[in-house]
Structure 1
Amino acid sequence: MRSFFKIFFAMLLALIIFTIVGVVILLGIIGRSVTPEKVVIAPNGVLVLETSQLYPEQKVANPFGGLKIGPDETPGLYDAVRLIRYAATDDNIKGIYLKTSGNPNGYATNEEIRNALIAFRKAKKFIYAYGEGMSQSGYYMASVADKIYLNPKGGVDFGGFAVQLMFLKGTLEKLDIEPQIFYDGRFKSATEPLRETQMTAANRIQTSAFLDELYGNFLQKIGEIRQIDTAVLHGYANVGLIQEASDALQYKLADGLKYDDEVIDEIRRKLGLKPDDDVNFVSLKKYEKSANYNSGSADSKIALIYAQGSIVSGDSEGPDVISSGQYLKEIRKARLDKDVKAIVFRVNSGGGSALASEVIWRELLLAKKEKPVIVSMGDYAASGGYYISCMADSIFAQPNTLTGSIGVFAVMPNMQGFFKNKLGVTFDGVKTAQYADLGTASRPLTEIEKKFVQNSVDSIYASFKSRVATGRKLDPAIVDSIAQGRVWSGVQAKALGLVDRLGGVDDALACAAKMANLSTYSLNEYPEAQDVVTRFMKQLGGDASAVMIKKELGENYKIYQQIKNVQQMNGEVQARLPFDFQLK
């Protein structure tokens, strides 16, 4: 029997070793097989750009996408911008076919791509836009095209902007859950969904103000290209004139009603091809494998650090997480690299943990003492997103960026009623000090404990305002007046001194190069791409599960995220946007 176990365990050990070695070899083979090959673009190419593609700040790389494992590989926003700009100088690319049936991207993201498309058109190359049913943000992109075509049975949404908020107070009351709420800032409405059944007057004021700004920019930019007065455009929306595709044609929002094959025929004629010739359509993903759009190979470098998502404490990693531990390391890496002469910090965040924001702010402040630090704001750079931006030498935002929201809050739920009345669960215990169990959800806070929490919120709010006053060189009284948790558009923020200039990533990089006295530079992008094995293991873990949840929930994923955010708020002081909203 002893010899049997010796043989058995020896074989088991051999099998384990063989499996590990086999997996490593297999990953190596797969890694080599999926290494992007250089693609040569044939003449008369037409770049296909789909606005239905979600563009994250940084490229979502998937080395196993061709094997249908994990999510599709997605170019980052700045990758897309650089590819479009590169295509403008590429003799093999004659035009762009812009497919605009949907658009999940934010308005500042759209602004970046739209500006690149305008530059492409200035290179005397054509852009044709087509959509079966264009959303407003899809039409915003399409408006730059030489020709806008709609499906004859399709249409375009041109009904104006609207914001809808979800309130959970009634649900919590039914569940017998009391959200104990503490906040600073008259406009700090992040807790409104938990304590109100509708918008407060202050929240309605701030939302109306920035929504009007965003809509004004929308109408102005469309009016400039289509040569229609903004008041006329607003009138179209206000009286509901655009209901059918034919209405868009009648009121000069479209240039024709055609099916996809008819648009392709027109592109074929534009290229001088015969009726039976295939059009050389090139996807953005394919074009990326052919284009050399990265900034040179100069010894002097600029670090471009992408920060997208919710700000949290710890070392977690992910496409929608800005963890203090990870970003402290990334910023420090750029700070200590002598070849990195400047840092551009790209922020697209509605905030999160106030403490994590402070940690990231501190590391950026240290970097600023050694080299220029420029912030480029995306769709959001609000609350904690503004906290980590305010120390920069210069701040760039798009006109339709949402920023500010300088305020903080804390939520500590009392679930005693829920446990006792709904579940029949009660709690008891012992403690060594009077406040040892402060923050437990099994009982309400005492009046003294409530003062402790509010004092903490007040202290962090004061620190936040102090960081802004020092970083932006503003009088503390002025900061207090424009803080209060109020959200501002990029245009408003510039007028108030919270932002220096309106512009995108390219503008921020140009500013960084000028401040560092660089005529040429190469670009280092952070966080750095992970190796094949690490990415593969993540595909099998959290990343894959997140993709599955998104796929199953569809549009309801936003609600799921909001509930997750509420869970993360428990007890920790938050510097977060006043609400999660859907902009129609």
Structure 2
Amino acid sequence: MKTLLLSLAGAFMALILFFLIVPVIVISLLVPSQEPKQPTAPIVLSLDMRNEYTDRTATDGLGALFGGVSFIDIITKLDAAATDPNVVGLTIRASETGIGSSRAEELRDAILKLKANDKFVIAHSQGFFLGGPSSYRAVSAADEIWMQQGSEFSVPGISLESLFFKGLLDKVGVTPEIMAFYEFKNAPNSFTQEGYTEDHALAMRALGTDLWNISLSDISADRADRFKGEPDMRTVLEDSPYSATQALELGLVDHLGWPEDIEREAESRSKGHIIDIGEYTAPAMGPDAQLIALVAGEGAIVTGTSGGDFANINAENKIASDTVSEQIYKAGDDPKIKAIIFRVDSPGGSPTASDQIWRAIEYVQSEKKKPVIISMGSVAASGGYYVSMGADKIVANRSTITGSIGVFGGRFAIAEGLAKIGVTSDSIDIGGPYSSTYTSVEPLTPVQREKMHTSLKNVYDRFVTLVADGRGMSWDDAHERARGRVWSGIAAKDQGLVDELGGLMRAVEVAREEAGIDPDAKVELRNIEPVPDPMEIFTTMFSGSESEARAMRFMGSMMSDKRISAALGQFQSMQGEPRQASISPIIER
């Protein structure tokens, strides 16, 4: 008995300690610590692009608990380093696979600014293999590119590939009952087609051509001392792959060597310290700096809130309309903030949530008289364009994927599939004929189909009307540019859907201009981020519940293909909101 009591007492004390200590650890991780003391000058920054970076700081999952560097952090730190006299250079470990054309463009811009301020940039690659030209383009402006012997240089072009599930759905007796507005709104094609439609192929081919041509233009400019221009560079790249030795002989890289060789080279040039970019703290702007707010949104656009979900280790960033709208209102209410930059990196999602965020921007502009500038990341399409269209100025990279102004909706009729395994359904509908439109497993009736068409067209018409108002064009002109078609950033500017070409730091300059801030005044970018409740964090850590959407995304991630993961997520999203303003993932290969 004594042993039993001692065991129970020990277990009880362990539980008490656990529930006391764990919250303290969790909360301490969220409380900002003192900035790390930086080594004395000179400093060489180190950046590893082989890591996967979210565009913005994670607010859910393990990433939110343990922090980490986001792509926005990288760009803002490099921009500060360009004019920091303590920083003399940068070393980069290039990614072996693609990082995306838009990110490559933004990183290249940062490298060019560093070089313009007399900072050296040295990159090392262990091979350029997959994902198009983005990994090479990201570092092509470096002073020197080193490549490991025995690796391969393969940058022959861009391949945009999609998966189609119609054959699978036919086999299991599932019929997609989906309508799209209009011919270029190709997200449902993953379920309704067995390959590209003529319109789908036209839009994708134009997009891929733009991305490839922009990449060739940048790379040939960066290696102009070794090549005779873009046609010469095109011929050489499209004839790849090459061995590392061949790449050196052709002038695609400058040296052969090992990763540690560039560290020795950097130390030799600088006589200083190499530190990871995450450890670098930009010089303080001082109390007189003019404040520009940065609200960063990444992921699918959904209704509700985000932030503090640490129980789900697979949680992804999302643009939750309540949370983002609150951030925009908060920035609008702060008299010290002169302008707002809303960074959008999203394939879209709920039109209802997008409308809510659009309204928050419109309110701050009209009631608080503050300019709102959009900085488009890798993708800002469909709902991602919806939340952007009313801003004072839209800034996009030339390689940003945007547009896709359109909507689709519907459901999946699964009655035939269920019958194959002996499951039947029956229903009793009370009320009008539309009552079971999104809940029945049976195919749509003609009346339901007609009403669904009307409902989705109303969403599309409002979308196009707001585009026309925001971009200062007629409804017909907006419709002509809409119809669900995706555009590259450079094409979107030609179409009048984007105002300026450039990345986040260009958006800062545009915000300065729109707010009337003196060109010589210092500007501080102030992050407006959701602050999770520590008690809510603690509660979610011990919650066993997970939404079906998370499970579906997790299944896709386990299958190691972003296209499958996105398709499953899209399927599940339609169960929550049957109307969607989103695009299928466009993955460069």
Q: Deviations over 1:261-300 (max 9, x none)?
A: 443443344346xxxxxx732111222xxx2356543485
Which of 110, 117, 123 is the equivalent residue of 2:111? 117
Which residue in 2 is equivalent to 1:57?
55
The Cα of 1:581 is off from its aligned counterpart by: 2.7
Aligned to 2:311: none
Q: 1:418 to 1:23 in 2, by over 3 A?
A: same
Q: Partner amino acid for 2:489? A: G
- Cα deviations by residue, 1:194-216 (Å, 9 ceiling, x for unpaired): 11111011111111111111111
2:555 is aligned with 1:553: no
Listed one character per residue, the Cα deviations across residues 508-544 of structure 1 (whole Å, up to 9, x for unaligned) are 222222222233454331223546666666677779x
| 1:367 Cα deviation after fit | 1.2
Q: Of residues 526, 529, 533 in structure 1, which corresponds to 2:528?
A: 526
State yes or no: 1:490 paired with 2:495.
Answer: no
1:132 corresponding residue in structure 2? 126
CA 1:284–1:103: 2 relative to 1, 3 Å: farther
Deviation of 1:503 after TM superposition, in Å, equals 1.5
Query: 1:386-406: per-residue Cα shift (whole Å, max 9, x none)?
Result: 111111111111100111111
How far apart are residue 61 of structure 1 and its match?
7.5
Q: How many aligned positions are there? A: 557
d(CA) in 2 for partners of 1:11, 1:44: 54
Within the alignment, does 1:159 sit opposite 2:134 as a pair? no
TM-score, length-scaled by structure 2: 0.87
For residues 319-334 of structure 1, what are the structure 2 equivalents within 5 Å? 319-334=316-331
What secondary structure does 1:74 align onto? Answer: coil
Q: Which residue of 2 aligns with 1:176?
A: 173
Name the structure 2 match of 1:379: 378
Report matched runs for 1:319-468 at 5 Å. 319-369=316-366, 370=368, 371-421=370-420, 423-435=421-433, 436-468=435-467
Task: Give the TM-score normalised by the residue count of structure 1.
Answer: 0.87
Deviations 1:138-191 (A, max 9, x none): 211221111111111012221101101000000100110000011111211111
Contact 1:54 1:103 in 2 (8 A): no
Per the alignment, do residues 96 and 536 of structure 1 end up closer, same or farther by CA in structure 2, a change over 3 Å counting? farther
- The equivalent residue for 1:283 is 276
Corresponding residue for residue 186 of structure 1: 183
In the TM superposition, what is the alpha-carbon distance from 1:111 to its structure 2 partner? Answer: 1.8
Instruction: Give the drift of 1:323.
Output: 1.6
Paired AA for residue 572 in structure 2: Q
Label 1:27 to 1:493 Cα distance change in 2 as closer, same or farther (>3 A): closer
Q: What CA distance in whole angstroms lies between the structure 2 residues aligned with 1:84 and 1:106?
A: 19
Report how far residue 308 of structure 1 moved.
0.9
**2:160 aligned partner, one-letter code:** V
SS of the aligned residue for 2:67 comes to coil
Partner of 1:3: none
**Runs of 5+ in structure 1 lacking a partner?**
1-8, 273-278
| Distance in 1 between residues matched to 2:297 and 2:195, nearest whole Å | 32
Corresponding residue number in structure 1 for 2:92: 98
Question: Percent of counterpart pairs with the same letter?
Answer: 28
Work out the CA distance in 2 between the residues paired with 1:358 and 1:410: 17
Q: 1:24-79 CA distances to partner (integer Å, 9 max, x unpaired)?
A: 555566777x83542222344321111112232222389998xxxx8763222222
The amino acid across from 1:187 in the alignment is F
Q: CA deviation at 1:309?
A: 0.7
Contact (CA 8 Å) 1:381, 1:401: kept in 2 or not? Answer: yes
For residue 569 of structure 1, give the secondary structure of its aligned residue in structure 2. Answer: helix
Do the aligned partners of residues 396 and 293 (structure 1) sit closer, same or farther apart at CA in structure 2, a change above 3 Å counting? farther
2:299 partner SS: strand
Whether 1:196 and 2:202 are equivalent positions in the alignment is no
Distance 1:539 1:434, change over 3 A: closer
Q: Structure 2 matches for 1:233-244, cutoff 5 A? A: 233-238=233-238, 240-244=239-243
CA separation of 1:294 and 1:474: change in aligned 2, threshold 3 A: farther
Larger CA deviation: 200-209 vs 131-140 = 131-140
Shift of 1:378: 0.7
The AA in structure 1 aligned to 2:569 is K
1:236 counterpart letter in structure 2: V
Structure 2 Cα separation of the partners of residues 195 and 523 of structure 1: 45
> CA, structure 1 residues 456+268, in 2 after alignment: closer, same or farther (shift >3 Å)?
same
Match of 1:6 in 2: none
Distance 1:476 1:320, change over 3 A: same
Q: After TM superposition, give the deviation of residue 365 of structure 1 in Å.
A: 1.0
How is 1:252-331 mapped onto 2 (pairs within 5 angstroms)? 252-271=251-270, 280-287=273-280, 291-293=281-283, 295-298=285-288, 301-317=291-307, 319-331=316-328
The match for 2:244 is 245
Aligned partner (choices 200, 218, 221) of residue 221 of structure 1: 218
Are the counterparts in 2 of residues 128 and 147 from structure 1 also a CA contact under 8 Å?
yes
Q: Take 1:316 and 1:419, find their aligned partners in 2: how far apart are those partners? A: 36
Give the 3-state SS of the residue equivalent to 2:451 in structure 1. Answer: helix
Following superposition, the deviation at residue 13 of structure 1 comes to 10
C-alpha contact 2:438 2:578 (8 A) present in aligned 1: no
Counterpart check, 1:75 vs 2:63:
no
Distance 1:526 1:185, change over 3 A: same
Q: Is the 8 A contact 1:382 1:403 kept in 2?
A: yes
Cα distance change of structure 1 residues 489 and 293 upon mapping to structure 2, 3 Å threshold: farther
Deviates more, 1:51-60 or 1:184-193: 51-60
Q: 1:479-518, CA deviations, whole angstroms, 9 ceiling, x for partnerless residues?
A: 1111111111111111111001111222222222222223
Q: Aligned letter for 1:313?
A: T
1:89 matched to 2:83? The reply is: yes
| C-alpha contact (below 8 Å) 2:148/2:257 kept by paired residues | yes
SS for the counterpart of 1:133 is coil
Aligned with 2:234: secondary structure? helix
